[in-house]
């Protein structure tokens, strides 16, 4: 753990978290006894191959799925005890999601896609400020089909940031991008992490992301291990 993290307050804590899927015929232990602490404002990378459990872990952290056993806390709130409505409130107020595939609404232009999220948020950041921050000035009226992959990912990122989430969860955010555009998006994520003091957690298979991280972990066969860079 770096010295900066030691001075910050924990924002996420997990103790022996497990996730088991059981359809009556097949029982899959996707996440196995995972424990970790994430601090405010950290840039965390979780590396793992396909099928390692990293997306399942992100879904648990983001309140999109319920844990089978163990304890998961956001500050002093027990996420593992949340009901469906509480999980929905947690996702809406605390978490921002960025995915590999941009999930933009094709019938809405750039600024409309971002405003849609802002309008559903209690205290959003100024939309025009975020558009400028992610480098989309001049593209506000462009529809997704008129944007490059990198520009669409910037819209997706702006949509996540505008709600002013405390934690930004990114699932393979550069997976659909070329190398140069990937670096541009990662530089932008690092800038947002530092300037807005947002806790950033990225899951990926790309080892290049490690250079951006305050700390990084590897997950294999559902088991999480912190690594030394």
What would the pLDDT profile of 28-79 be if each residue is shown by its tens digit? 999 999 999 999 999 999 999 989 999 999 999 999 999 999 999 999 999 9
> Using one digit for the tens of pLDDT, what is the confidence trace for 134-180?
899 999 999 999 999 889 989 999 999 999 899 999 998 887 778 88
Domain annotation covers residue 225: yes
Specify the pLDDT at position 228. 78
Output the six-digit token pair for 196.
């807005």
Domain annotation covers residue 105: no
Domain annotation covers residue 63: yes
Give the whole-number percent of the chain exceeding pLDDT 70: 97
The answer to whether residue 3 scores a pLDDT higher than 70 is: no
Q: Are strands 69-74 and 77-78 parallel, antiparallel or unpaired?
A: antiparallel
Range of the domain at 77: 1-91+205-229
Domain annotation covers residue 55: yes
CATH code where residue 4 lies: 3.40.50.300
Domain annotation covers residue 65: yes
Specify the pLDDT at position 103. 87
Quote the number of domains for the chain.
Answer: 1
Specify the pLDDT at position 229. 63
Domain annotation covers residue 126: no
* 95-99, strands of its sheet edge to edge: 95-99, 167-171, 199-204, 43-47, 215-220, 223-227
Residue 133 vs residue 199, higher pLDDT: 199
Give residue 8's pLDDT band: very low, low, confident or very high (50, 70, 90).
confident
Specify the pLDDT at position 29. 96
Domain annotation covers residue 150: no
Give residue 1's pLDDT band: very low, low, confident or very high (50, 70, 90).
very low
User: Where are the extended beta strands (E) located within the chain?
Assistant: 10-22, 27-39, 43-47, 69-74, 77-78, 95-99, 167-171, 199-204, 215-220, 223-227
Specify the pLDDT at position 122. 85
Specify the pLDDT at position 218. 96
Question: What is the C-alpha to C-alpha distance for residues 64 and 56, in angstroms, rounded to an integer?
Answer: 9
Q: Give me the mean pLDDT over the 85-104 stretch.
A: 89
The answer to whether residue 225 scores a pLDDT higher than 80 is: yes
Q: Are strands 199-204 and 167-171 parallel, antiparallel or unpaired?
A: parallel
Domain annotation covers residue 224: yes
As a whole number, the mean pLDDT across the chain is: 91
Whether the model pTM is above 0.85: yes
């Amino acid at each position: 753990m770096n010295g900066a993290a030691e001075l910050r307050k924990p924002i996420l804590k997990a103790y022996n978290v497990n996730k088991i899927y059981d359809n009556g015929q097949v029982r899959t232990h996707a996440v196995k006894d995972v424990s970790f602490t994430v601090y405010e404002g950290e840039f965390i990378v979780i590396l793992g191959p396909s099928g390692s459990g990293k997306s399942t872990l992100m879904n648990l952290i983001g309140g999109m799925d319920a844990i089978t056993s163990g304890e998961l806390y956001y500050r002093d709130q027990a996420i593992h005890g949340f009901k469906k409505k509480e999980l929905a409130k947690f996702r809406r107020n605390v978490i921002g999601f960025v995915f590999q595939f941009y999930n933009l609404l094709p019938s809405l232009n750039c600024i409309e896609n971002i405003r849609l999220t802002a309008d559903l948020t209690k205290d959003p950041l100024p939309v025009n400020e975020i558009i400028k921050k992610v480098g989309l000035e001049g593209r506000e009226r462009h529809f997704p089909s008129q944007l490059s992959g990198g520009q669409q990912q910037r819209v997706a990122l702006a949509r996540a940031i505008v709600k002013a989430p405390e934690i930004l969860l990114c699932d393979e955010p550069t997976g659909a991008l070329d190398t140069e555009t990937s670096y541009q998006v990662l530089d932008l994520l690092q800038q947002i992490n530092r300037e807005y003091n947002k806790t950033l957690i990225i899951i990926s298979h790309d080892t290049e992301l490690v250079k951006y991280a305050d700390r990084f972990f590897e997950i294999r066969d559902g088991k999480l291990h912190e690594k030394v860079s």
